[in-house]
Amino acid sequence: MLVVRELISAEQIRHGVAQLAADINHYYRQRPLTLLGVMTGSLVLVADVIRQLEIPVRVGVIQARSYRGGATTPGELAVRDGYLPDVQGRHVLVMDDIYDTGRTLAGLYEYLRPLKPASLRSAVLLRKQGRQQVPLEPDYVVFDIPDVFVVGYGLDYQDQYRHLAYVAALEPQDFQQFQE
């Protein structure tokens, strides 16, 4: 059985998500918003945020993957937009679970800009310190974390741990269990 080290408690997440929703409400001030959740890690965050929004909101999803299988470092970005609503002329907020190198967010901005949204902003639950490879920064960051591999609150390792109500770090020895 794996022992994971809790980094951010469920209570801290509740408070952080409430503040994020308040900030979004304040910024958009009754302007209609299209919120795009980046599959699959952001689903828990998106669900918790939209229940606290007091603005007109339309929800869509887009899949952007750079981690595959047992990988713990990002690879080439693949985008799937089968559930992407029309964003032309709409205020769009891209919501993702983690900002690591920044390549996923930059790639999504590159993909979405030609679709002509009225505005394009981003929100992430976690920003991993010291890993950024692009100048683009998220507009909203709930928590900054050290450079560790994290799971929980929607984040996974080989489709495990998404269900945790908190964010935890997997230690290097934890990965060995999946290789045996």
| Sequence ranges of the domains in the chain | 12-145
Q: How far apart are CA 14 and CA 151, in angstroms?
A: 17
List for the chain the helix, strand, coil content (%; round to 5).
Answer: 25, 35, 40
Distance of CA 151 to the CA centre of its chain: 12
pLDDT greater than 90 at residue 122: yes
- Paired tokens of 48: 């918790």
Q: How far apart are CA 114 and CA 87, in angstroms?
A: 10
| Per-residue pLDDT tens digits for 28-49 | 998 999 999 998 899 999 999 9
Fold of 12-145: Rossmann fold (3.40.50)
The catalytic residue positions are 100
Q: Using alpha carbons only, give the angle 132, 23, 138 rounded to the nearest 5 degrees.
A: 15
| CB-CB contact of 24 with 138 (8 Å) | no
Averaged confidence pLDDT in the chain: 89
pLDDT greater than 80 at residue 82: no
The overall pTM is greater than 0.95? no
